[in-house]
Amino acid sequence: MTAPAKCPGCGAKLEPDMLACPNCPMSFPEDDSASEVHPLKQTRWYGVVMPLLFFAGIGALIWMLATGFWRLAQENNQADNSSYPTRGAPAEAAPEPGTDASAVSAASTAAAVPAEDQEVLVTGDASSSEGASAAPARAPAAAPAPPPPPPPTHWRLRGTVYDLSTLKPLPGCWVRFVDVDANRSVTARTDAGGRYRTIVPALDGRGYEVRLSKSGYAPSYLDPRTRGVREMSAAERAGLARGLATTLTQSPAVLQTSDAKPLITDFYLAPRP
């Protein structure tokens, strides 16, 4: 390959046998079949112009795509809007000759009223034409009251037995629930915390008599309906316990309930003197 008359890079004058430019790094190899670089690529503007052209093409492609999608969306919106009918009352046509104007007015009013309200409109017109007064609106019928729950078949009885003098729970105390009419009974025993718990058959119109027994204590016990036991002084409770211990007769408490909730009743036993 012979050198060009002028260097493509700097424009210096070259001799035909020169292999390189004396002023710039531009070279002219003899065999450039595989490694020859185009003179345009060796210019200083090539590295700037080519990236600008590449990105300009990419930007033009993106702009064209965005414009196409925007136009497609506008066309779809116009098609959707045109598919909905225009709402509004139609123009009222003039009545034909020989047609009753009131009938035309009623027909146009019925056409303007929604379908679900036309039945009410027709009913009101018929009643007014007959001269009958409109009946007042009826209130919706109240829902029937639910039936009362059936009476329970069993009663749940529970509570605690205490020492009247010390107000401490009494473990190992026998609590007997007696059905006097049927001559049968159910017995429970208090646990370590003085608590009893049992389930007895429900009775119709009567209750169970309660009988307590524990070694060292009188069978008489304080009426569970008595209030203020825990607010009494120790001397008052001791006097009350002496009175219960010497009582020969006692009216036992009767337990009776009307629902399935547990009936909680506490008792106070008097220690023997």
Kindly state the DSSP code that residue 96 receives in the 8-state scheme: P
Give dist(CA 53, CA 131) in Å, integer: 90
Question: HSE (CB half, 13 Å, CA atoms) of 93?
Answer: 9
SS3 at position 180: coil
* Three-class secondary structure of residue 63 per DSSP: helix
Strands (E), the chain: 154-163, 174-179, 184-189, 195-201, 208-213, 217-222, 254-255, 263-264, 267-271
Among left, alpha and beta (phi > 0; psi -120 to 50; other), residue 237 is alpha
CATH number for the domain that contains residue 218: 2.60.40.1120
Q: Tell me how far apart the alpha carbons of residues 241 and 222 are, in angstroms, rounded to a whole number.
A: 9
pLDDT at 103 over 90: no
Q: How confident is the model at residue 254 (pLDDT cuts 50, 70, 90)?
A: very high
The answer to pTM > 0.85 is: no
Beta strands in 114-238 (DSSP E): 154-163, 174-179, 184-189, 195-201, 208-213, 217-222
Structural domain contains residue 238: yes
Measured distance CA(253)–CA(245) in Å, rounded: 17
41-45, 129-133, 262-266 — which is least confidently predicted? 129-133
Asked whether residue 250 is assigned to any structural domain, the reply reads: yes
Asked if residue 214 belongs to a domain, the reply is: yes
Considering 8-12, 22-26, 187-191, 243-247, the range whose residues carry the highest mean pLDDT is: 187-191
Residue 199: give the domain boundaries: 154-271
Instruction: Let me know if residue 89 belongs to a domain.
Output: no
Q: Is residue 173 included in any domain, yes or no?
A: yes
CA distance 168 to 270: 12
CB 160 within 8 A of CB 194: yes
Return the C-alpha torsion angle 127, 132, 136, 141, nearest 10. -80
pLDDT of residue 107: 52
In a domain, 98, yes or no: no
- Count of domains for the chain: 1
Which of 45-54, 70-79, 177-186 has maximum average pLDDT? 177-186
In this structure, of 29-33, 73-77, 156-160, 168-172, the range with the lowest mean pLDDT score is 29-33
Does residue 66 lie in a domain region? Answer: no
Q: Which two tokens stand for residue 200?
A: 């007895």
* pLDDT classification of 188: cutoffs 50, 70, 90: very high
DSSP 41: G
Q: Is 224 within a domain?
A: yes
